Structure 1
Amino acid sequence: MKTAVTDGVFPGGVLLVSQKREILFHEAYGKADIFSGSQIMVNTVFDLASLTKPLATTLAVMKLEEQHKLTLEQTLGEIIDRFRGRETAGITVRQLLSHTSGLPAYKPYFERIRSIPEHNRKKEFRELLVREELINPAGQKTLYSDIGFMMLCWIVETVSGKRLDHFVRDEIYEPSSLQELFFVDLMEQKVQETPGQFAATEKCPWRKKVITGEVHDDNAFIVGGIDGHAGLFGTAREVGRLLLMLQGLFHGHPENGILAPKTIRKYFTKYKGDARVLGFDTPDPVDSSCGHYFSPKTIGHLGFTGTSFWMDLEKEVNVILLTNRIHPTRENVRIRAFRPIIHDMVMKNI
């Protein structure tokens, strides 16, 4: 980790390793902000980027299914009236979670709506979702899609009657005493940060500042900081506590009863040949970012800002790597080569 900072892989980061219930390693390295010089601490808050998908949106869907308010086979058209009669109406919740919806990977919606008043942006943003077209027939191909998780956010909010951040706070995080996992609501709150509290991300050309304490993802930013594909912030410690809870549930330990073990096992198991489990990623068969030593029963996810976690359900090992690799620019992609190296080093020394 020290070498990675010195070599410019990222300005700073936190590495946390746990096995069973024990934290084996939890250390911080480098700078939270290269311009202010503030240091990364073990309790520095990171923009978790796409870790939002498994650690917020997917958990929300799990909870709604347990509450008998939603099923995996329900379709967009059945849940949200605006999709009825559209090409996308038949996409199921399962297909959205497994990235087999046939939707495109990404669209820069923010470019089309950043010039309109803030209070109208979310409505217009969702009109763009309604008008989105398939690029593959639903259910036939796996293509990782931000857009699918934007639609899942809308589903969660429609079914629960609450905004996504409020639902996961009330149903998952607060009952689990997870106070360091949260969304930053840009429409209502201005974060009062102390130096180094948040790891800085990119120097944004159109926001004209170094982004700190607000979501980096442009599409999430334009709708106020909260969406299903990005927007979650957190510390390595709190991500680790959540993973330990999920791992315990998978192995049949009810913990605090927030989710049932059978629900966790269903979502953490591949379905009928799907390339991914529901809402989470699995290691690539070749050149995986988690290296060579995790078992086949491993799930995890990567985040664009330089974040990741891998959870080996067989060995009961969790590795959480949170960095600010896009600070000050996303052009720095050295983390791609670094990730398997650090994971191999961890696994060989456990």
Structure 2
Amino acid sequence: MIDRAFASAAAAVAAGRIPGATLGIVWADGRRAIRTAGMAALVPEPEILTEDHWFDLASLTKVIATTRIILTLADQGRLDLDRPLTDAIPDLRQYDVASAAERRLTFRDCLAHRTFLPAVEPIYTYGGDPDRLRAFVLQREWRHGQMVYSDINFILLGIAIERLTGAPLSAWPLGDGLGYGPPSGPAVATEACTWRGRVMKGEVHDENCFALGGATGHAGLFGTVAGVLDFAAGLLDGSGVTSTMMAAIRTPLRDHRTCGWEKSFKGWHGGDVCSAETIGHTGFTGTGLWVDFDAGVAWTLLTNRVHPTRHRETGILELRRATGEAVSQL
């Protein structure tokens, strides 16, 4: 049955559009299925992809780690989602306490990407000291713009978690098959990075995350297909979330944005066949996770579409949509 859902990914691998792909599906009754094809690496040495390989999950970090941690801390009464970030980061824009707009941003604003902050900024070009770059993020007067999906929102949330817990993000237990790098098993290669002068393999692909120390709120998480499916199963059966956390990730706050996640809409990466009660998220390296609560099914499509370079067309949007629609019709 899963072979039908994996057909588009297998075809993309065979055609050379992506090096490798893994599809994992979990149902609410506990059944699982996994298929893998292609290569974990093409250069500098070829390596066949297996179920045991760890993928750089990229922005899936935002939902599997950061959103989960923030909502857990809120459940524990250690933060109020509708209070400003300054409750955790009092030195945010500390030289402009009276009028800095950044000081009025709330945890919920950042989770739902309903801020004025830019989508991304080349933070790694401003220096090489992680602590100094964190200080730069906190004291920078960010340019204002329309509400967009923003890495900066989650970099700030990651710093807030570190302040509230007194520990790095990597100290938070996320479960087997999930963790910040370097991973404990074989790793999937991502890009041949011109800035770092090597193929990224077992090191985080995202330049800003790398420069900030490798574990941030927006990126840095690695995972196996089994680790991602375990997380998804905890959402499907409710064992990984409380009722208030579940409501937060399923309730739209701005257009299709919930706390951390996207909710299904026409044309999105999850395809148009899933139910209206589906949430999902993608990662730049070629990863994605979708959870359909009405149908009782979740699926993750993990690829290394940026290997050996991001600067080519891989058809990842069409592949994700085709896969999601096939899964929804199993």
TM-score scaled to structure 1, two decimals?
A: 0.85
Work out the CA distance in 1 between the residues paired with 2:216 and 2:18: 26
- How far off is 1:146 after superposition? 0.1
Work out the CA distance in 2 between the residues paired with 1:78 and 1:347: 42
- Structure 1 counterpart SS, 2:201: coil
Aligned partner (choices 340, 345, 350) of residue 321 of structure 2: 340
Aligned partner (choices 179, 202, 214) of residue 191 of structure 2: 202
Q: Is the contact between residue 87 and residue 134 of structure 1 (CA under 8 Å) also seen in structure 2?
A: no
- How far off is 1:290 after superposition? 1.3
Paired residue total: 315
Work out the CA distance in 2 between the residues paired with 1:128 and 1:157: 14
Aligned partner (choices 25, 31, 44) of residue 53 of structure 2: 44
Alignment map for 1:1-350 (pairs within 5 Å): 1-35=9-43, 36-83=45-92, 84=94, 85=97, 86-114=100-128, 120-136=129-145, 142-167=147-172, 169=173, 173=174, 178-184=175-181, 197-249=186-238, 255=239, 259-271=241-253, 273-285=254-266, 287-333=267-313, 334-348=315-329, 350=330
Coordinate RMSD, CA, aligned = 1.7
- How far off is 1:274 after superposition? 4.3
Work out the CA distance in 2 between the residues paired with 1:107 and 1:244: 34
- Structure 2 counterpart SS, 1:82: coil
TM-score scaled to structure 2, two decimals?
A: 0.90
- Structure 2 counterpart SS, 1:238: helix
- How far off is 1:57 after superposition? 0.4
Work out the CA distance in 2 between the residues paired with 1:30 and 1:48: 18
For structure 2, list consecutive stretches of 5 or more residues without a partner in the other structure.
1-8
Query: Deviations along 1:191-224, whole A, 9 cap, x unmatched?
Result: 676xxx1110000011111110010000000122
Distance 1:132 1:248, change over 3 A: farther
- How far off is 1:288 after superposition? 1.6
What amino acid sits opposite 2:125 in the alignment? Answer: E
Query: Deviations along 1:60-99, whole A, 9 cap, x unmatched?
Result: 1011111111011110233312124133100010000000
Query: Deviations along 1:283-309, whole A, 9 cap, x unmatched?
Result: 332x22111211111101000000001
Work out the CA distance in 1 between the residues paired with 2:279 and 2:203: 27
Query: Deviations along 1:148-202, whole A, 9 cap, x unmatched?
Result: 00000011111121211213x1xxx2xxxx22100016xxxxx676xxx111000
- Structure 2 counterpart SS, 1:31: strand
- Structure 2 counterpart SS, 1:81: coil
What amino acid sits opposite 2:244 in the alignment? Answer: K
For structure 1, list consecutive stretches of 5 or more residues without a partner in the other structure.
115-119, 186-190, 250-254
Q: Is the contact between residue 133 and residue 212 of structure 2 (CA under 8 Å) also seen in structure 1?
A: no
Q: Is the contact between residue 307 and residue 322 of structure 1 (CA under 8 Å) also seen in structure 2?
A: yes
What amino acid sits opposite 2:169 in the alignment? Answer: L
What amino acid sits opposite 1:182 in the alignment? Answer: G
**Number of the residue aligned with 1:117:** none
Work out the CA distance in 2 between the residues paired with 1:241 and 1:192: 17
Choose 238-247 or 76-85, whichever is displaced more.
76-85
Distance 1:134 1:111, change over 3 A: closer
What amino acid sits opposite 2:176 in the alignment? Answer: Q
Q: Is the contact between residue 19 and residue 317 of structure 1 (CA under 8 Å) also seen in structure 2?
A: yes
Distance 1:288 1:162, change over 3 A: same
Work out the CA distance in 2 between the residues paired with 1:329 and 1:225: 20
- How far off is 1:24 after superposition? 4.5
Work out the CA distance in 1 between the residues paired with 2:74 and 2:107: 11
Q: Is the contact between residue 113 and residue 125 of structure 1 (CA under 8 Å) also seen in structure 2?
A: no
Work out the CA distance in 2 between the residues paired with 1:79 and 1:50: 23
**Number of the residue aligned with 2:5:** none
- How far off is 1:347 after superposition? 2.0
- How far off is 1:326 after superposition? 0.3
Q: Is the contact between residue 286 and residue 305 of structure 2 (CA under 8 Å) also seen in structure 1?
A: yes
Percent identity between the two aligned chains: 32
